[in-house]
Amino acid sequence: MLPSSSSSSSSRNDGIHLIVCVHGLDGNSTDLRLVRTYLEMALSSSGRVDFLMSERNQSDTFSDFEVMTDRLVKEILYHIDLYSIKPTKISFIGHSLGNIIIRSALTRREMAPLLPRLHTFLSLSGPHLGMLFNNSGLVNMGIWFMQKWKKSTSLLQLSLKDHHDPRQTFLYKLSQKPVLRQFRNVLLVGSQQDRYVPFHSSRIEICKAALRDTSGIGRPWLEVIYNAGSVYIEMRHNTTLVRYDVYHALTSNTNHFIGRAAHIAVLDSELFIEKFISVSVLKYFL
């Protein structure tokens, strides 16, 4: 159930647009601060906006997605209760792994009363289809090493290796839950310069490598695409779906070489964030 609020605070806290920002792997609550700053300024004349910069998972993003989902759900409901707000719109902004936590949170029973109020989902470099078919051997090696070193369940889940049957994995099951169609706007941002999250995964699209795959994981992975595709067909009349291909002017350094620079440019490139919000994104948050 939604938290109740007193009659004295009801009128004061009605009509609020709640925007929840969720960081990615090994991130923290300040990662999306520039996105918040420019969006908050742009929305200053359009009504009351309340930002929740999620922090419950910042100490451990290598744990099971189910655990991180529990934390986010509790954090959102606690925030609504603490400030006695009754949001009329609820939007989500996620970076990287944070987008998976958002999608998972919206499948929980406790969140059901909030679903009719969902407005915009802005996904920045989200691994919606996992980390499979990444063409960077260096990144694949790094993910394998981090998974072993940190004993990371989340990285195992993003590789669809958390169960011997791919159709029983966390991501496969998540793809069968049509939560994205509840939003009025779904904005998927990806970059071909990003080697951390495959371009096809951030934009929820088919890749040729999956079609050629003979390892046994290709078909279940394509079913994840099909599941998501079915959702988009169902929601087509009520939801605007936009895919962005972002190109960053990056300096040549190690981060650029391994593809990390483009992955974090959506967070720390002030020029990009300002232009992207004012030109492309703002209208979807009004």
Pairwise pLDDT comparison (193 vs 85), residue with the higher score: 85
Specify if 142 maps to a domain.
yes
Confidence at 248, pLDDT banded by 50, 70, 90: confident
Nearest residue to 91 (alpha-carbon basis) of 129, 45, 35: 35
- Residue 162 neighbours by CB under 8 Å, 6+ apart: 153, 156, 169, 170
Q: What is the pLDDT of residue 256?
A: 44
Specify if 79 maps to a domain.
yes
Q: What is the pLDDT of residue 193?
A: 85
Indicate the number of domains in the chain. Answer: 1
**Average pLDDT in the 274-278 region?**
95
Specify if 2 maps to a domain.
no
Q: What is the pLDDT of residue 124?
A: 96
**Average pLDDT in the 225-234 region?**
66
Specify if 46 maps to a domain.
yes
Average pLDDT across the chain, whole number: 85
Sheet holding 86-95, edge to edge: 49-53, 14-22, 86-95, 118-124, 185-190, 240-245
Percent of the chain with pLDDT over 70: 81
Specify if 1 maps to a domain.
no
Kindly tell me if the per-residue pLDDT of 8 is higher than 60. no
Specify if 121 maps to a domain.
yes
N-terminal to C-terminal alpha carbon distance within the chain: 27
Pairwise pLDDT comparison (253 vs 240), residue with the higher score: 240
Pairwise pLDDT comparison (254 vs 224), residue with the higher score: 224
The partner residues of 52 in beta bridges, in order of sequence, read: 20
pLDDT by residue (tens digit) across 157-216? 998 889 999 999 999 999 999 889 899 999 999 988 887 888 889 999 888 877 877 777
- For 68, other C-beta atoms within 10 Å of its C-beta total 25
CATH number for the domain including 207?
A: 3.40.50.1820
Q: What pTM does this model have? A: 0.88
Residue 251 backbone phi and psi in degrees, to 5: -80, 150
pLDDT by residue (tens digit) across 37-73? 999 999 998 889 999 999 999 989 999 999 999 999 9
157 neighbors 64 (Cβ within 8 angstroms)? yes
176: containing domain: 7-284
Of 88-92, 102-106, 177-181, 232-236, the least confident:
232-236
Nearest residue to 242 (alpha-carbon basis) of 286, 204, 195: 204
Q: What is the pLDDT of residue 254?
A: 43
Pairwise pLDDT comparison (255 vs 86), residue with the higher score: 86
Specify if 89 maps to a domain.
yes
Q: What is the pLDDT of residue 96?
A: 94
Confidence at 232, pLDDT banded by 50, 70, 90: low
Q: What is the pLDDT of residue 3?
A: 44
